[in-house]
Amino acid sequence: MDAAWIIGLAASPWLLPALFALVVGDAFLVVLPSETAVVALGALAATTGDPAVGATIAVAAAGAVVGDGLCYLMGRRIGVDRWRWQRRARVAAAIDRAMLGVHRRTAVLVFTARYVPFARIAVNIAAGAGRVPLRRYLPLSLAAGVAWAGYNVTIGAVVGSALPESPLLAVVISIPIAILLGLVVDRVVAGFGARMAPRPDDDRGP
């Protein structure tokens, strides 16, 4: 039998604000489990009716756009190598790759980066540092955030719909499924990005 506390948690007025903060924070701290949280709330929505699916998608998407926007502003105001963590090998390599194609492949990079932890911060910082116009960047970030939120909520909702009487079990099962799908998406996106990556001389022009 499911614990009553999870049903109470689903109806808590603090749940969606906490989700928003978590997704914003995940833009900078890739160890935060924002995807897992969104999937779990999707499962809760399908089994208990709370939080509402539409509200969950809207809040998760808003957190994604705000977090990515802050990274964009960081890149625009601070650059790509001022802080030590920006110079760490993995982050620096991701930023270098993003800088090479941020103007020619803005849409592809913004959308695919949402599903790859280090790529998310790298692409958004590179977009800011590369002076991608905000009027071009913001609609792409918004569309990518909505697509990402909808994708993760749908995973949880599908599992929850199969277990309508067991919200706790639905959450427990949806999380490893989401992690597995995330690994698959990560590999697919990484392979696609490798094929799309420009050569160092691609952006030099004739």
In Å, how far from its chain's centre is CA 187? 15
Report which of residues 187 and 119 the model is more confident about. Answer: 119
Average pLDDT value for residue range 159-172:
84
Q: Is the pLDDT of residue 206 over 70?
A: no
The count of other CB atoms within 10 Å of the CB of residue 60 is 28
Residue 203 pLDDT grade (very low, low, confident, very high; cuts 50, 70, 90):
very low
Q: How far apart are CA 161 and CA 167, in angstroms?
A: 10
Q: How far apart are CA 63 and CA 35, in angstroms?
A: 12
Q: Encoding tokens for residue 58?
A: 């809207």
Q: How far apart are CA 22 and CA 50, in angstroms?
A: 18
Over residues 99-133, the pLDDT tens digits come to 666 767 788 888 888 887 777 888 888 888 888 88
Over residues 76-102, the pLDDT tens digits come to 887 666 556 556 666 666 666 666 667
The candidate with the shortest Cα–Cα distance to 152, out of 56, 14, 30, is 56
What's the pLDDT score for residue 99? 65
DSSP secondary-structure letter at 204?
G
